[in-house]
Structure 1
Amino acid sequence: MTKISNKIVSILIPCVMLMVSCSNNKSGEESSKAVLDTISLSNKNFALAYQDGSKIVATSIDTMKQISFGGATDPAISPDGNKLAYTVNDTAGHRTIWVADMENKSQLQLQVNSGNYYQAVWSPSGNAIAFNIFNSKNLWKIGIIKTDNTGYVMLDSASKINVYAPTWKNEKELISQDLVNLYTFDISGKLIDTKPIASLIGKDFTIASSNRFFYTKDGQKLIFNAGNTDVLDGLTGPSEGVYILDLASKKVNRISPKGTNVPYVFVTGDDRIFYSGSEKPYTQNKIYVSDLSGNSKLLVDKGTNPTGALK
């Protein structure tokens, strides 16, 4: 079973700028810059980022080389493994997305003129980031911005629908859902396709705003997590699992094993499926990686919300 290495380099999120508690700052002093020790991060080959309690961990796939961030959530590692996007919650209740370059140690906040945007998702090329954003009409929308803080656009900004859990279908298209329909947008914000979710996956699943849908690289399959009808003794609330839909045959197969509650899934551009789930007694989540056939491997003994870089 994979264990987490003790070889961790801590990055402290800057307290003054972000107004968050920096649990890793042992001196108690506030800092206006990120603090990273002098060990070079070159050639660390970061491949996975995940949540571990109140911190984010970025690690190599064998978990032997790691860094950790305090005071941040929603980790999203870039496809090349060199950058990490994350959400910061400040004392005023704002959520904002920041991006850290793990090699040159720089950090920047994505500037989108909002106090509530979170859950970054990198484009396949790593040149842009999509995210959920709460707009002035009190609706959830999708925002896109380039990683140099240019080209910001809010998709479908004029409609009255909420959309959740954005993911990239390819470099020019994104998908999201509103609990009932699965939407496809192009990067200019145009709605180009709407499909009822039940017509795709059937009526045996329940959808929450956090459930995400990913197309495979060839566009022929759809990977998603959703609530199911499993009755798991000792689990409070509905159970969730990870599934794969063959769009041609309409057949849905289960990826995560029965008896495991899986509230989170992420799929890389090379079709590896990362997910976090817990088994009875459902008190500790573990992180797994699977191929499209459901062959799963345990990666981390304790963690949630994994995202992976390309191989």
Structure 2
Amino acid sequence: MTKFNIKTASIMVFACGLITACGNEHPSDNSNKAILDTVSLSNKNFALAYQDGNKIVATSIDTMKQISFGWATDPAISPDGNKLAYTVNDTAGHRTIWVADMENKSQLQLQVNSGNYYQAVWSPSGSAIAFNIFNSNKIWKFGVIKTDNTGYVMLDSASKINVYAPTWKNEKELIGHDLFNLYTFDITGKLIDTKPIASLIGKDFTIASSNRFFYTKNGQKLIFNAGNDDTLDGITGSSEAVYSLDLSNKKVERLTPKGMQVSYIFVTADDRVFYSGTEKPFTQSKIYVSDLKGNAKLVVDRGTNPTGTLK
């Protein structure tokens, strides 16, 4: 993971966002497919997906109905709750994205000419998937593909700009950053806007390659997670929290409580903020959902990296 502290203008490189599967061993058949644990999937309404150790779980919001996949990471549930995208790491060190239909149990790999692409995120309508991809010039870019596995394009493929943590601004635009700047691309790959992050949120935050920025539905706010100056006994390195930036007045408000370490957020297209956080003694990560004012409730008592559907 790469970090940039806006205040000190120092760069810390920690593996450029590389994510590996939890656990030390892979299935004995070395299959690229994730292992589907659940047998019967009929009549299940899924609303949330998250990481739980060496598996990912899709569940109803009350956690009464669940399906799990072993040996997979980066869960991304579709807006309608019917499909799940995830990353598979094979024994050769490749990372690829697969999509499972949670009703008929089919699984397919996204047809991308690369051995290193991950971190899928669905468009608001569920018609396309964006992801990070390492190109032939060893630069991180965004890839976009339709959910029928056609129309793959790499955005801004010729430039030397690294871009991390893709999110959808709307159905036709994506945003990401290179630690210094926030970029907006259209889905044809054209770079249409560049804003220095420090000019948006100030200089008192630490930005890592894994930190994400989400526009709210009305486009008036940015929701993001970032490192701060909090000192948490038991946490090595900077603490992280979730914040809201009002673009009209540049006011930044904290959405998660002090004393909580929040390393991952996901904002749905209908403005619900899912995040995984730990509190002292920082041994167990839990999953919460919040509104844009920070009113949160606990939804899963053990898990990380949540994504949610539309209501």
* Superposition deviation, residue 242 in structure 1: 0.3
Q: Do the aligned residues in 1 keep the contact of 2:36 with 2:70 (CA within 8 Å)?
A: no
Q: Do the aligned residues in 2 keep the contact of 1:216 with 1:222 (CA within 8 Å)?
A: yes
Q: Do the aligned residues in 2 keep the contact of 1:58 with 1:66 (CA within 8 Å)?
A: yes
Structure 1 pair 55–194 and aligned structure 2 pair: CA distance change class (3 A): same
Q: Provide the rounded CA distance (Å) in 2 between the counterparts of 1:59 and 1:155.
A: 32
Q: Provide the rounded CA distance (Å) in 1 between the counterparts of 2:289 and 2:95.
A: 29
* Superposition deviation, residue 234 in structure 1: 1.4
Q: Provide the rounded CA distance (Å) in 1 between the counterparts of 2:227 and 2:203.
A: 11
Task: For 1:8-157, list aligned pairs within 5 A.
Answer: 21-22=26-27, 38-39=39-40, 41-157=41-157
What RMSD, in angstroms, separates the aligned Cα atoms of the two structures? Answer: 1.5
Q: Do the aligned residues in 1 keep the contact of 2:145 with 2:151 (CA within 8 Å)?
A: yes
Q: Provide the rounded CA distance (Å) in 2 between the counterparts of 1:53 and 1:30.
A: 19
Q: Provide the rounded CA distance (Å) in 1 between the counterparts of 2:303 and 2:32.
A: 29
In structure 1, the residue corresponding to 2:69 is in which secondary structure? strand
In structure 2, the residue corresponding to 1:207 is in which secondary structure? strand
Aligned residues: 286
Q: Provide the rounded CA distance (Å) in 1 between the counterparts of 2:237 and 2:119.
A: 23
Aligned to 1:219: 219
* Superposition deviation, residue 88 in structure 1: 0.3
Q: Do the aligned residues in 2 keep the contact of 1:36 with 1:105 (CA within 8 Å)?
A: no
* Superposition deviation, residue 38 in structure 1: 4.5
* Superposition deviation, residue 283 in structure 1: 1.4
Q: Provide the rounded CA distance (Å) in 1 between the counterparts of 2:252 and 2:293.
A: 12
Letter in 2 for 1:203: K
Aligned to 2:256: 256
* CA deviations over 1:63-101 (Å, ceiling 9, x no partner): 010011000000000000000000000011100000000
Letter in 2 for 1:185: F
Aligned to 1:294: 294
Letter in 1 for 2:182: L
Q: Do the aligned residues in 2 keep the contact of 1:235 with 1:281 (CA within 8 Å)?
A: no
Q: Provide the rounded CA distance (Å) in 1 between the counterparts of 2:241 and 2:276.
A: 10
- Alignment TM-score, normalising by the size of structure 2: 0.89
In structure 1, the residue corresponding to 2:244 is in which secondary structure? strand
In structure 2, the residue corresponding to 1:194 is in which secondary structure? strand
Structure 1 pair 233–43 and aligned structure 2 pair: CA distance change class (3 A): same
Q: Provide the rounded CA distance (Å) in 2 between the counterparts of 1:160 and 1:310.
A: 35
Q: Do the aligned residues in 2 keep the contact of 1:227 with 1:241 (CA within 8 Å)?
A: yes
In structure 1, the residue corresponding to 2:208 is in which secondary structure? coil
Q: Do the aligned residues in 1 keep the contact of 2:32 with 2:89 (CA within 8 Å)?
A: no
In structure 1, the residue corresponding to 2:271 is in which secondary structure? coil
* CA deviations over 1:258-298 (Å, ceiling 9, x no partner): 00000000000100000001001111111000000100101
In structure 2, the residue corresponding to 1:224 is in which secondary structure? strand
Aligned to 1:180: 180
Structure 1 pair 35–242 and aligned structure 2 pair: CA distance change class (3 A): closer
Specify every segment of 5 or more residues in structure 2 that has no aligned partner in the other structure, as ranges: 1-24
In structure 2, the residue corresponding to 1:282 is in which secondary structure? coil
Specify every segment of 5 or more residues in structure 1 that has no aligned partner in the other structure, as ranges: 1-19, 23-27
Identity rate, percent: 82
Structure 1 pair 244–266 and aligned structure 2 pair: CA distance change class (3 A): same
Structure 1 pair 281–162 and aligned structure 2 pair: CA distance change class (3 A): same
Q: Do the aligned residues in 1 keep the contact of 2:32 with 2:88 (CA within 8 Å)?
A: no
Deviates more, 1:209-218 or 1:28-37: 28-37
Aligned to 1:25: none
Q: Do the aligned residues in 1 keep the contact of 2:47 with 2:58 (CA within 8 Å)?
A: yes
Q: Provide the rounded CA distance (Å) in 1 between the counterparts of 2:146 and 2:153.
A: 10
Q: Provide the rounded CA distance (Å) in 2 between the counterparts of 1:78 and 1:157.
A: 26
Structure 1 pair 32–118 and aligned structure 2 pair: CA distance change class (3 A): closer
